[in-house]
Amino acid sequence: MSRLSLSHLRKMKAAHDKIAVLTAYDASFAQRVEQAGVEVILVGDSLGMVIQGQESTVPVTVDDMVYHTQSVVRGSQKAFIIADLPFMSYANVDQAISNAARLMAKGGAQMVKLEGGADFVPVIQGLTARGIPVCAHLGLLPQSVHRLGGYFVQGKAQSDAENMLREAQQLEQAGADMLVLECVPAALAAKIAQCLTIPVIGIGAGAECDGQVLVLYDMLGITPGKRPRFSHDFLQESGGQVSVAIEHYVQAVKQGTFPNAEQQF
């Protein structure tokens, strides 16, 4: 297998080598992203917003995810590919297994990602027992935007922070091989990354995570509307050259200069 493996990513964490992750949704960008040195490409359900123009990720389907995952896989050779399980595609164990199987067997993903805490322990156990690697996702859960009432930082209260750390440990114990933390105070994310042996990838979660992820179109400054505070327009500072912008992002992640103090909570 010519693609990077989970064991490679685990070794990177152990060696304190930062893991650079970006989203991509098509073959052309997947190739640029990989050539710039990104280790992991996430085919995120953020495609609902940045590709489809939806108001949230809620309308994204498994068929959408399979189509974009196939495109990203065709455009890349070495990157480790994670595909998001979209809204309501993993509400029970059987459903999660059949949809994850499609993302892997048909889409070509090496890992699936799902949003949620301890409630998803049985789903993660069911997937991993069948050889499907799982990336968990805590903090701001965009698929739950209608329950959360908006996109806000999560885990600010002491009790919420303790709960998130406990849930992260439960997800690791259930078999999750990676964890994304979204919009979490930097100190809490640092503690979670320290307490877990699996790689913890942050977005809006401070520089102490084992790696960083951004939505590609956010870091190129082409997502319509206001850029999230935790993002940065790497294209503008790179003279408008896409490959250079992505290389700058990778360098900043590797050197630990992204995110800086203003780009975290």
User: Which segments are annotated as binding site for 3-methyl-2-oxobutanoate?
Assistant: 45-46, 84, 113
CA 204 to chain CA centroid, nearest Å: 11
Q: Around Cβ 105, how many Cβ atoms within 10 Å?
A: 10
C-beta of 15 vs 73, nearer to ligand KIV: 73
Least separation in angstroms between CB 85 and ligand KIV: 10
Least separation in angstroms between CB 230 and ligand KIV: 10
Tokens of 244: 């250079």
180's contact among ligand KIV, Na ion, none, with CB below 5 to 8 A by partner kind, is: ligand KIV
Residues listed for the chain: 265
203's contact among ligand KIV, Na ion, none, with CB below 5 to 8 A by partner kind, is: ligand KIV
Encoded one letter per residue, x for contact with ligand KIV by CB under 6 A and - for no contact, window 41-70 reads -x-xxx------------------------
C-beta of 65 vs 104, nearer to ligand KIV: 65
212's contact among ligand KIV, Na ion, none, with CB below 5 to 8 A by partner kind, is: none
Among 64, 84, 167, 172, the residue binding Na ion under the rule CB under 5 A is 84
Instruction: Give phi and psi for 101, each to the nearest 5.
Output: -60, -40
Site membership for ligand KIV, residue 84 (CB under 6 A): yes
Among 4, 9, 33, 44, the residue binding Na ion under the rule CB under 5 A is 44
182 classed as catalytic: yes
Identify which of 98, 138, 105 has the alpha carbon closest to the alpha carbon of residue 120: 138
Site membership for ligand KIV, residue 204 (CB under 6 A): no
**Residue, CB closest to ligand KIV:** 44
Bridge partners of 114, per DSSP, are 136
Helix, strand, coil: what percent of the chain each, to 5?
A: 45, 15, 40
Bridge partners of 43, per DSSP, are 83
* H or E stretch covering 192: helix 186-195
Longest dimension (CA), the chain: 49
Q: Which residues contact 168 (CB under 8 A, 6 or more apart)?
A: 136, 138, 179, 192, 195, 196, 200
Bridge partners of 40, per DSSP, are 21, 80
CA 139 to chain CA centroid, nearest Å: 12
Site membership for ligand KIV, residue 203 (CB under 6 A): yes
Site membership for ligand KIV, residue 167 (CB under 6 A): no
Site membership for ligand KIV, residue 24 (CB under 6 A): no
Which of the following is catalytic: 34, 167, 172, 182?
182
State how far the Cα of 203 lies from the Cα of 181, in Å rounded to an integer. Answer: 6
Note the residues at the interface with Na ion (CB under 5 A): 44-45, 84
Note the residues at the interface with ligand KIV (CB under 6 A): 23, 42, 44-46, 84, 180, 182, 203, 213, 215
Enumerate the active-site residues.
182
